Amino acid sequence: MEKLRVGVVGVGSVVREIYQYLYFRSDFTPILDIVAVADPNDEFREWFCDTYNIPPPRRYRDYKEMFAQNELDVAQINTPDHIHAAPAIDALKAGMDVVVPKPTASTVKDTHAMIQTARETGRLLGVDFHKREDPRFKEAEARYQSGRYGRFQAGVWYMLDKLLVADPNHSPRFFASPDFAERNTPISFLTVHACDALIKVVDLKPVEVRATGFSHKMPSLSPIPIKGYDVVDTEIVFDNGGVAHIFAGWHLPNTAHALTVQSSRMICSEGMFDIGLDTPGLHEIHPDGIFEINPLFRNFEKDGMVTGYGISSPGRLFQKILADRNGTLTPEMRDQMMTATALGFYTSLVLEGAEESLRKGKEIAEGVTRGIAIDLKALLARELGQSALAEYGY
């Protein structure tokens, strides 16, 4: 097999920003055959299919029809997080491998169901947490896990987006749905990125979460206000006693020097290290403004090709799936792909815990909600039963 026959479920913002280039303008394009597309949003579906010459008979509103009417090797599920599970599970049961963007799902029940279905069917499930392929994180992981810094003690991370990402009044709108930022929080969109990268670096399990949410800018938007959070601080306690704070938000002024302003500091028993993501590579002074350009994430080359870790992360998942289909993926690599950490289980646990913390919290000042502490082992046992504690290493 030289190409994977891919069915794409959902062609919204993540396809516009990343995956269209992966499919058609990357080093991975030769192994991908985009056979069919399903999306209930007519505008997004027709834009993508018209742009890339997907014939009308292979354009669907319902992914189930697409699965039934086409022979596919892989389904890429680009739906909103809370509806990853159903199409992913349907695809796995139909004999397809599955790739999903981060997070795996918004609840541990859904994430567990996806993992269990993949294991039962013998198919592969890949999660595109693309920061795993950022060379800065890969180097930090190797150095930390070599023992260079000793024991992780405390960390501070932040990922803050420009307001346009969450503002439904901005034109063009970043998300298709005007209520995206009301139905979601910065936790699901941004905190999960930092959380997954942190867990990969320190190789620890989260045991407690507490979140504090600030809602000042979102309700002031006009003419469409948002009942949602501008920024959330998620405090995570790990099983070695280490503590991390992840600040995530989408309310920076649109004049910010980058779409996402982000960085990290890690304090350990034998030293500390900073991951300076705010200066990713190219500092530009131009009549339009001053910008930091991140070619590490997405690099538009002069020949039209697009590279960077935002492309290579999902691309390498597809490479491994192709190798597995051809019988050349080693058992060791296959096992590594299917661990709970690789499949984002602990990140989903933190996500659900942080959201629950805010729901059960109380307002301590105007627009400020202080969440309660959530015992993640108790949450896991409640949602999946006591046996899940041992299964997931607690």
Residue-wise pLDDT tens digits, 164-185: 999 999 999 888 778 888 888 9
As a residue count, the chain comes to 394
- Contact in structure between 388 and 376 (CB atoms under 8 Å): no
Average pLDDT, the chain: 96
Cis peptide before 280 (omega within 30 of 0): no
3-state class of 51 per DSSP?
helix
Amino acid letter at 334?
A: R
Q: Does a structural domain hold residue 338?
A: no
| Residue that is written with structure tokens 């999902």 in the block | 314
Residues 308 and 385 in one domain: no
Q: Does a structural domain hold residue 335?
A: no
Q: In the chain, how many domains are there?
A: 2
- Contact in structure between 362 and 242 (CB atoms under 8 Å): no
Domain residues for the domain of 323 are: 4-131+303-328
Q: Does a structural domain hold residue 336?
A: no
Separation of alpha carbons 345 and 116, rounded Å:
12
What pLDDT, on the 0 to 100 scale, is given for residue 278?
85
> In terms of pTM, does the model score above 0.75?
yes
Tell me the per-residue pLDDT of 58-115, one tens digit each, with 9 for 90 and over: 999 999 999 999 999 999 999 988 899 999 999 999 999 999 999 999 999 999 999 9
Tell me the per-residue pLDDT of 261-282, one tens digit each, with 9 for 90 and over: 999 999 999 999 999 888 888 8
Residues 142 and 81 in one domain: no
Q: Does a structural domain hold residue 339?
A: no
Residues 165 and 193 in one domain: yes
Could you tell me where the DSSP H helices lie in 211-366? 309-325, 331-337, 345-359
Could you tell me where the DSSP H helices lie in the chain? 13-14, 20-24, 42-51, 63-69, 85-93, 108-121, 135-145, 180-183, 186, 192-202, 309-325, 331-337, 345-359, 376-384, 387-391
pLDDT at 2 over 80: yes
Angle at 117 between CA 310 and CA 177, to 5 degrees: 50
Residues 275 and 321 in one domain: no
CATH number at residue 64: 3.40.50.720
